[in-house]
Amino acid sequence: MLNMFEVIETNHMIEQEKLDVRTITMGISLLDCCDNDLARLNEKIYNKITSYARDLVATGEAISRDFGIPIVNKRISVTPIALVGGCACKTPEDFVTVAQTLDRAAKTVGVNFIGGYSALVCKGMTPAEEHLIRSIPKALAVTERVCSSINVGSTKTGLNMDAVRLMGEIVVKTAEETKENDSLGCAKLVVFCNAPDDNPFMAGAFHGVTEADAIINVGVSGPGVVKVALEKARGENFEVLCETIKRTAFKITRVGQLVAQEASVRLGIPFGIIDLSLAPTPAVGDSVAEILEEIGLERVGAPGTTAALAMLNDQVKKGGVMASSYVGGLSGAFIPVSEDRGMIEAVAMGALTLEKLEAMTCVCSVGLDMIAIPGDTPATTIAGIIADEAAIGMINQKTTAVRIIPVIGKTIGDTVEFGGLLGYAPVMPVNPYSCEKFVTRGGRIPAPIHSFKN
Amino acid sequence: MNKVIITVLGKDTVGIIAKVCTYLAEKQVNILDITQTIVQGYFNMMMIVDMDQANVPFEQISGDLEKIGEGIGVRIKCQREEIFTKMHRI
């Protein structure tokens, strides 16, 4: 039978250490909504989302009440809209109407984000996919809850450099379209390499074509719990350190597994995966950077940061895998700058640079995330940053992504407020030298060789 | 069995267990186990109960107990057992 210490430990994690389930994300396939007629397409999409996800929010809240665990977000991911809207959408403006439909459906069912305004163009772009990409700045400006993601490369196909170059321009245009709100549109736009089909986390969630009609994916979180556990292992060797992280990750993930199974039964929708990511928030004591500092770095960004992060990420997975029947999504420590108080402080004091962040993304999910850069950064430079990050993913067979915000009207030293879970960020300097001739060459970077790994 | 864990945390006063138990008896909730300690004047109690025969839904019991707790200056929380067993048992 349970003893009191176990009960107190669990409740302490929830109340003091900010243990929560970050998101229950319902993936919904929209492939059966395809239609030649734009109005009918929009109607079918709206009807399917609002009928499948009708009880999502209420169910999430009921589970939260029953177990006494906060479930922070209830969200929806859908089939990449470039595939669904291909028949009906002949212009970027047509795609914007679909974005508005997604936004309306999200508001009707009460979810705070809906992901899947996406195109998978890792090898080439169809006309529909290009229309969707070109519609992103407008779509993200006129909607509130829609998130967009574009997959521009993979280990199997190489990098679509035409798409990379285009995305550099789209990021800048999205920033301009939403400049009244500190270019917030870019916080809802992710450029991926090796994007997973079952990621529950925004802004990069979409419901891949390999998935079932509907599925429940859950993202857990608990940087605060790991940090507090490590406080008790100060001065211990790596063996003790790793064991502590694994045990803690196991406990955190079990809660996610329980919530996922319960949601699956109550909603009558199959359970997909648990995403084992340590996802920080701007709240005090909910920071991945603070874990790294607890491990022994004076500040995140110091030499040793990449090694510490690699170890942390691997131990979280080792502990979490055993706690869940199915693991997927991104599964790793997130290092979004604006959403992590420790990262923000490290950037502000000059300990953490864009280049070090790039190195860190080699060993953890997911990539250059929620980074504010000067608004006058050229589109080709942003394309270069995307290409660098995508190359890391392509060569290392991992997911990488770029969610970068060129804040129009702001420059190095300024601070940007995104609000809520998106947090705030100091504007970071970018290497001023040009890569224009490189990114404008056109074509593809071929798929890498899968042997001679060095 | 519909096991629920009720935890009570707060300053020790007379009649905490009595109030909670009286309420549970009214609602046909069976108490399976009670553990309690007092650490530095703070009252810590854990009850394992079975709500299988309860005559009102979980949400109501949970809400009522919270209010009873507020009335006597302690925090009372109801959680289904699985969150603890999943976390602490393989």
Contact between A4 and B88 using a beta-carbon 8 Å cutoff: no
Contact between A255 and B35 using a beta-carbon 8 Å cutoff: no
Does the pLDDT at position B90 exceed 90? Answer: no
Contact between A4 and B35 using a beta-carbon 8 Å cutoff: yes
Domains of chain A: 22-193 (3.20.70.20)
Q: Which residue of A has its CA nearest to B85?
A: A2
CA triplet A432, A433, A439: central angle to 5 degrees? 120
Measure CA A87 to chain center: 29
Q: What would the pLDDT profile of A78-129 be if each residue is shown by its tens digit?
A: 999 999 999 999 999 999 999 999 999 999 999 999 999 999 999 999 999 9
From the list A357, A365, A363, the residue with the least C-alpha distance to A329 is A365
* Closest in A1, A10, A62 to B83, CB measured: A10
Give the β-pairing of B42-50 and A400-407: unpaired
Note if the bond before A203 is cis, omega within 30 degrees. yes
Please list, in sequence order, all residues whose beta carbon lies within 8 angstroms of the beta carbon of residue A375, skipping any fewer than 6 positions away: A175, A179, A183, A406, A407, A408, A409, A410, A411
Give the β-pairing of B30-39 and A444-445: unpaired
Tokens 């798929």 appear where? A447
Name residues 56-75 of chain B within 8 A of A (Cβ). Answer: 58-59, 62
Secondary structure element (H or E) that encloses residue B63, with its range: helix B58-72
pLDDT at A368: 93
Q: What is the CA radius of gyration of chain B?
A: 13
Q: Which residue of B has its CA nearest to A7?
A: B84
| Contact B1/A at CB under 8 A | no
pLDDT at B32: 95
**Helix ranges (DSSP H) in A70-117:** 81-84, 92-109
Count Cβ atoms below 10 Å from residue A289 Cβ, excluding itself. Answer: 28
From the list A287, A296, A201, the residue with the least C-alpha distance to A240 is A296
From the list A28, A20, A14, the residue with the least C-alpha distance to A270 is A28
Contact between A255 and B83 using a beta-carbon 8 Å cutoff: yes
Tokens 């492939």 appear where? A31
Q: Which residue of B has its CA nearest to A248?
A: B87
Does the pLDDT at position A365 exceed 80? Answer: no
Contact between B87 and A11 using a beta-carbon 8 Å cutoff: no
| Contact A254/B at CB under 8 A | yes
Distance from CA of B88 to the nearest CA of A (A): 7
Does the pLDDT at position A50 exceed 90? Answer: yes
Upper half-sphere CA count for residue A446 (Cβ side, 13 Å): 3
Q: What would the pLDDT profile of A368-384 be if each residue is shown by its tens digit?
A: 999 999 999 999 999 99
Distance from CA of B10 to the nearest CA of A (A): 13
Q: DSSP state, A278?
A: B
Backbone angles phi, psi at A226, to 5 degrees: -65, -45
| Mean confidence (pLDDT) of chain A | 94
Tokens 């945390």 appear where? B9
Percent of residues, chain A, with pLDDT higher than 70: 100
Q: What would the pLDDT profile of A131-164 be if each residue is shown by its tens digit?
A: 999 999 999 999 999 999 999 999 999 999 999 9
Q: Which tokens in the block code for residue A139?
A: 């779509």
Task: Check: CB of residue A73 under 8 Å from CB of residue A115.
Answer: no
Contact between B83 and A4 using a beta-carbon 8 Å cutoff: no
Task: Check: CB of residue A234 under 8 Å from CB of residue A241.
Answer: no
Domains of chain B: 3-77 (3.30.70.260)
CA triplet A358, A364, A367: central angle to 5 degrees? 45
pLDDT at A183: 92
Q: What would the pLDDT profile of B42-66 be if each residue is shown by its tens digit?
A: 888 999 999 999 999 999 999 999 9
pLDDT at A2: 85
Cα separation, A359 vs A26, in Å, equals 33
Contact between B80 and A67 using a beta-carbon 8 Å cutoff: yes
Cα separation, A3 vs A261, in Å, equals 24
pTM of the entire predicted model: 0.93
What ipTM goes with this model?
A: 0.89
What confidence tier does A24 reach under pLDDT thresholds 50, 70, 90? Answer: very high
Please list, in sequence order, all residues whose beta carbon lies within 8 angstroms of the beta carbon of residue A158, skipping any fewer than 6 positions away: A122, A123, A394, A444, A445, A446, A447, A448
| Contact A449/B at CB under 8 A | no
Task: Check: CB of residue A347 under 8 Å from CB of residue A354.
Answer: no
Distance from CA of B48 to the nearest CA of A (A): 9
* Closest in A68, A251, A257 to B79, CB measured: A68
Q: DSSP state, A397?
A: T
Task: Check: CB of residue A399 under 8 Å from CB of residue A195.
Answer: yes
| Contact B31/A at CB under 8 A | no
